Amino acid sequence: MPSTKFQSGDTVMGRWPGSSLFYEVKVLSYDAKNQLYTVIYKDGTELELREADMKNPTGFKPSRRSRSRSPSRRRSRSRSPARTTRRSSSRTVSSTFIAETHNARKEPKLKEVLEVRLVPVVRIRQLKDHADFPCLQSLSVFPPVFAGVFCMTLLLPATVLGLMVVCSQEDASLMSSPPLPALDSLWDLQVFGMVVLWLLFQALLYVLPVGKVVEGMPLKNGERLKYRMNTLYAFVLTVAALGAAVHHKIDLGYIHSHFLQLAVSSLLCSVLLSVYLYVRSRWATQDLLAPGGNSGSVIYDFFMGSELNPRIKGFDLKYFCELRPGLIGWLVINAAMALAEMQLHHLDYPSPAMILVNCFHLLYVLDAFWHEEGVLSYMDITHDGFGFMLAFGDLMWVPFTFSLQAYYLVHHPNHLSLPWIVGIVTLNVIGFSIFRKANSQKNCFRRNPSDPTLSHLKTIPTATGKSLLVSGLWGLVRHPNYLGDLIMALAWSLPCGFTHILPYFYVIYLSILLVHREARDEAQCRRKYGSAWDDYCREVRYRIIPRVY
Ligand SMILES: NC(=O)C1=CN([C@@H]2O[C@H](COP(=O)(O)OP(=O)(O)OC[C@H]3O[C@@H](n4cnc5c(N)ncnc54)[C@H](OP(=O)(O)O)[C@@H]3O)[C@@H](O)[C@H]2O)C=CC1
Ligand SMILES: CC(C)=CCC[C@@H](C)[C@H]1CC=C2C3=C(CC[C@@]21C)[C@@]1(C)CC[C@H](O)C(C)(C)[C@@H]1CC3
């Protein structure tokens, strides 16, 4: 940490954003560029504070009123700071501070020290805050949370396999009960070898010294990890390798004919990886753990993951899995399904529906690769531990459920008329434009808030020094990028027609995931930005869909 008034590890008094209350906080790191300290309150809340909002503890006396209260719990019991210090979007942060500091001087009672006996509350709150799972949000006591996590560990893989089995039946209705495949038909050592080879090949491409190296978001200790941006190269080299394989008469139809076995082998790889991750996390120091990453429950930590960025030397396991084997694997499966469709129905070209599905998915994945740097600031990388949920999500869920539409079309051809094709392409273009513009605007604004291309947008200042965009797409709904993602998801399903609901599984999954993710992000932003976030919510009333939600 550079020479600053407060040092990492110091215990000082930090202002709760939007209020005149000060609580005991521990300094974690200092961001010299933005001149912000990352501090942690005793209830586990992490915020960025300016030096002006931090004071030495001397002179603060314990409150007689305050007992076992965290800032966040206080907000729900007493009048919310948002209401007591309500400010409009046009009012500047500094004027708010002056007013509140003045008040605080007149009313010493407002200066309080947090007396903490919060450990169980912290853990439950952090558990509920932890990941993309709605069931964890609604559960408030430990045993059900762990039981829920345990069931998910079994249910999620079963869901993927079940969907794949149903999808291959003529009657792909979710209500149908297709014959279960024999257990030994699910396993083939050669297929397992292929999956391991695939992972090793992708790992080899990851360590190639091509592509620029960039720094990730600051960690708790202020450090920034380095990441090499070369997913696009990995993709191009994979396509070249597959092209060479096809040229040498290797039949990609193998993927279609061994689809279930490939999924089971990928599941096994994700389980083995998660066991490794769990075991190594037992030796990880506190500053390497994700928030709430050490709950004390084996099953919970196995599922959610304890370590934030597990690395072997410079090889980042989470970042590798998030973007490469699963996403590139998804595209390879799609291409194999197009080939299988041509073989099965004796076609010279894939059907228009298959072409649309392949092109839409290709665009989505290439976009993720093109904007690879943006992924470094996504919750999965900066906040979530790496455990079974993400390992399974990346290695099995993404390639085998995201490709269900292409798999479905192999067995359920759907004729598309020209107007339908035009309509579906238009819908995807609209969804993609919203998704891309929203993500780019936010990333650009976070990198450089005074970027001239964004000067026309209105913003709301917050106590942390960062502002929130409040016009343009971010003024339409609070998560325009989710809206675009959902519109695209619908466009991907429509080429499969309306006979079965199965091709719409992706839209349903994404809606649940994004609604939950939005709630989780909202809770984090409210903690981070206090009353400024409430102002934003008043100004932009809808979360994802204008006038609906
Ligand atoms: N296909 C799939 O399976 C999935 C796709 N996704 C996609 O991944 C992408 C990333 O999603 P996710 O990481 O959840 O969240 P976002 O990229 O939407 O990031 C949320 C963060 O943006 C900042 N923010 C929120 N509102 C504003 C505002 N008005 N102005 C400026 N900054 C704001 C806040 O962080 P701060 O203020 O700290 O910068 C907030 O925490 C999305 O496009 C989503 O659609 C996500 C999950 C699954
Ligand atoms: C039910 C279950 C197993 C949940 C696990 C969730 C994960 C599969 C998803 C959580 C967030 C994801 C993102 C992408 C893929 C799915 C997971 C890992 C993503 C990489 C897809 C491509 C996008 O462009 C993206 C980079 C925005 C996106 C990031 C989030």
Burial class (CB in 10 A: 0-12, 13-18, 19+), 92: exposed
Residues whose CB falls within 8 Å of the CB of residue 119, separated by 6 or more in sequence, listed in order: none
Q: Whose atoms come closest to the Cα of 471: which ligand?
A: 1
Helix (H) or strand (E) holding 316: strand 315-316
CATH 2.30.30.140 in the chain, residues? 11-110
CA 132 to ligand 2 center in whole angstroms? 10
Output the CA angle 357-358-360, nearest 5 degrees: 65
Amino acid at 330: W
Q: Could you tell me if the CB of 111 is within 6 A of ligand 1? A: no
Ligand at minimal distance from the CA of 394 is 2
Q: Which amino acid is at 462?
A: T
Q: Does residue 321 line the site of ligand 2, with CB under 6 A?
A: no
Is the pTM higher than 0.90? The answer reads: no
Structure tokens at 119: 């450990």
User: Based on C-alpha coordinates, what's the Rg of the chain?
Assistant: 25
Please calculate the CA angle 274-278-284 and round it to the nearest 5 degrees: 135
Is residue 97 classed as helix, strand or coil in its secondary structure?
A: helix
Please name the residue whose Cα sits nearest to atom 26 of ligand 2.
Answer: 368
Runs of H (alpha helix) within 107-230: 119-128, 134-138, 142-167, 189-207
**Ligand 1 binding pocket mutation candidate from 442, 470, 527, 541 (most atoms within 8 A of CB):** 442
Q: Is the distance from the beta carbon of residue 380 to the nearest atom of ligand 2 less than 6 Å?
A: yes
Strands 22-31 and 213-215: unpaired
Task: Quote the longest CA-to-CA distance of the chain.
Answer: 84
In this prediction the ipTM stands at: 0.96
Region of 195 please: left (phi>0), alpha (psi -120 to 50) or beta.
Answer: alpha
- Quick one: which ligand is closest to 156's CA? 2
Beta bridge partners of 197: none
Whether the CB of 408 sits within 6 Å of ligand 1 = no
Residue with tokens 């010279």: 348
Please tell me the residue having the least CA distance from ligand 1 atom 21: 521
Helix (H, G, I), strand (E, B) or coil at 409: helix
276, two tokens: 């490794």
Instruction: Classify burial at 162, counting beta carbons within 10 Å of its beta carbon; exposed 0-12, middle 13-18, buried 19 or more.
Output: middle
Atom in ligand 2 nearest the alpha carbon of residue 509: 1
Q: Are 512 and 544 in contact (CB under 8 A)?
A: no
d(CA 207, CA 345): 41
Two tokens at 169? 């039946």
Tell which residue, 71, 8, 18, 66, has the closest CA to residue 41.
71
DSSP type of residue 181: P
pLDDT of residue 480: 96
Spatial neighbors of 40 by CB under 8 A, at least 6 apart, are 25, 26, 28, 46
Ligand 2 neighbourhood includes 394 CB (under 6 angstroms)? yes
Confirm or reject: Cβ of 370 under 6 Å from ligand 2. Answer: no
Alpha-carbon span 307 to 346, nearest angstrom: 50
Distance 364 CA to ligand 2 centre (A): 12
Q: Whose alpha carbon is nearest atom 38 of ligand 1?
A: 525
pLDDT of 512 reads 96
Helix (H) or strand (E) holding 488: helix 480-493
Take atom 13 of ligand 1 and give the residue whose Cα is closest.
378
Q: Is ligand 1 within 6 A of the CB of residue 268?
A: no
Mutate to test the pocket of ligand 2, among 390, 506, 510 (most ligand atoms within 8 A of CB): 390
Measured from the Cα of 379, ligand 1's closest atom is: 13
What ligand has the least distance to the C-alpha of 449? 1
Report the separation in Å between the CA atom of 73 and the middle of ligand 2, taken as the mean of its atom positions.
Answer: 31
Q: Is the CB of 322 under 6 A from ligand 1?
A: no
The gap from C-alpha 2 to its chain's centroid, in whole angstroms, comes to: 31
For residues 246-271, one letter each, b for 16 or more C-beta atoms within 10 angstroms of the residue's C-beta and e for the rest, the string is eeeeeebeebbebbbbbbbbbbbbbb
Q: Is 479 in the pocket of ligand 1 (CB under 6 A)?
A: yes
208 close to ligand 1 (CB < 6 Angstrom)? no
The residue whose C-alpha atom lies closest to atom 7 belonging to ligand 2 is 393
CA 138 centroid distance within chain: 19
Mutate to test the pocket of ligand 2, among 320, 322, 510 (most ligand atoms within 8 A of CB): 322
Whether 485 lines ligand 1, by a CB cut-off of 6 Å, is yes
The candidate with the shortest Cα–Cα distance to 55, out of 105, 99, 93, 94, is 105
Q: What angle is formed at CA 68 by the lines to CA 66 and CA 73, rounded to 5 degrees?
A: 90
Ligand 1 site-directed mutation target among 38, 367, 525, most atoms within 8 Å of CB: 525
| Rounded distance between C-alpha atoms, residue 280 and residue 49, angstroms | 33
Q: Token digits for 425?
A: 């392409």
CB contact at 8 A, 138 and 515: no
Match 């008040």 to its residue by tokens.
103
d(CA 301, CA 127): 10
**Tens place of pLDDT per residue across the chain (549 aa):** 556 888 888 888 887 765 667 778 888 888 887 788 888 876 666 778 888 888 887 766 544 333 333 343 333 333 333 332 223 333 333 333 322 333 333 333 333 333 333 333 334 444 445 555 544 444 444 667 778 888 999 999 999 999 999 999 988 888 888 888 888 889 999 999 999 999 999 999 999 999 999 998 888 777 889 999 999 999 999 999 999 999 998 899 999 999 999 999 999 999 999 999 999 999 888 778 887 777 778 888 999 999 999 999 989 999 999 999 999 999 999 999 999 999 999 999 999 999 999 999 999 999 999 999 989 988 889 888 999 999 999 999 999 999 999 999 999 999 999 999 999 999 999 999 999 999 999 988 888 888 888 888 899 988 888 889 998 899 999 999 999 999 999 999 999 999 999 999 999 999 999 999 999 899 989 888 888 899 999 999 999 999 888
Task: Identify whether the C-beta of residue 34 lies closer than 8 Å to the C-beta of residue 467.
Answer: no
What separation in Å is there between the alpha carbon of 515 and the centre of ligand 1?
12
The helix (run of H) or strand (run of E) holding residue 438 is helix 418-447
Q: Does ligand 2 come within 6 angstroms of the Cβ of 386?
A: no
The verdict on the CB of residue 145 being under 6 Å from ligand 2 is no
Distance between CA atoms of 36 and 232, rounded to whole angstroms? 34
Which atom of ligand 2 sits closest to the CA of residue 323? Answer: 20
User: What is the pLDDT at residue 59?
Assistant: 61
- Per-residue burial over 379-415, b = 16 or more CB atoms within 10 Å of its CB, e = otherwise: ebbebbbbbbbbbbbbbbbbbbbbbbbbbbbbebbbe
Give the Å distance between the CA of 335 and the centre of ligand 2. Answer: 21
For residue 366, report the distance from its CA to the centre of ligand 2, in Å: 14
The answer regarding whether domain 11-110 maps to CATH 3.50.50.60 reads no
In angstroms, the CA 276 to CA 311 distance is: 12
